[in-house]
């Protein structure tokens, strides 16, 4: 279907698919939604890992005597430590919530 008016551009309107009605969850396709919890968790772990790798690379360059910015190296190390501590805190909260749910009486 197209909506047009005098002087207005034509705007195509598409009918929503079945997965858009249900948000992609529980529909017979068997595929997980694009923004699932697992995807978000994997992105967070990859972010922490990339910060750690970047900090390790800068530290190795500094230790080898290359011309490296010391301040940048220290900032990268602190960022890596902060992201790792944040991820550990989130893990602890998730484990605590899981244990609390498992201890609930039905």
Q: Is 55 exposed, middle or buried (0-12, 13-18, 19+ CB in 10 A)?
A: buried
Q: What are phi and psi of 2, to 5 degrees?
A: -125, 140
Residue 97, CA distances (Å) to 36, 86, 90, 93 in order: 19, 17, 11, 6
Q: What pLDDT does 71 receive?
A: 93
Those residues with Cβ within 8 angstroms of residue 77's Cβ, 6 or more apart along the chain or in another chain:
55, 58, 59
- The residues pairing with 11 across neighbouring beta strands, listed in sequence order, are 3
What's this model's pTM, rounded to 2 decimal places? Answer: 0.61
The conformational region for residue 17 under phi > 0 = left, psi -120 to 50 = alpha, else beta, is beta
Q: What's the rounded Cα separation, in Å, for the pair 73 and 94?
A: 32
Tens digit of each residue's pLDDT, the chain (106 residues):
454 444 544 555 565 555 554 554 555 555 656 788 889 889 999 999 999 999 999 999 999 988 888 999 999 999 999 999 999 999 999 999 999 999 998 7
11, 2 Cβ separation under 8 angstroms: yes
pLDDT at 31: 61
Q: What is the pLDDT of residue 22?
A: 52
Position 73 scores a pLDDT of: 92
């Amino acid at each position: 279907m197209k909506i047009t008016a005098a002087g207005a551009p034509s705007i195509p309107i598409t009918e929503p698919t079945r997965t858009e009605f249900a948000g992609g969850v529980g529909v017979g396709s068997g595929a997980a939604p694009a923004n699932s919890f697992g995807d978000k968790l994997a992105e967070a772990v990859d972010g922490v890992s990339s910060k750690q790798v970047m900090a390790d690379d800068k530290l190795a360059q500094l230790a080898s005597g290359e011309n490296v910015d010391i301040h940048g190296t220290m900032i990268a190390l602190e960022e890596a430590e902060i992201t790792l501590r944040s991820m550990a805190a989130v893990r602890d909260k998730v484990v605590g919530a899981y244990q609390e749910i498992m201890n609930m009486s039905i």
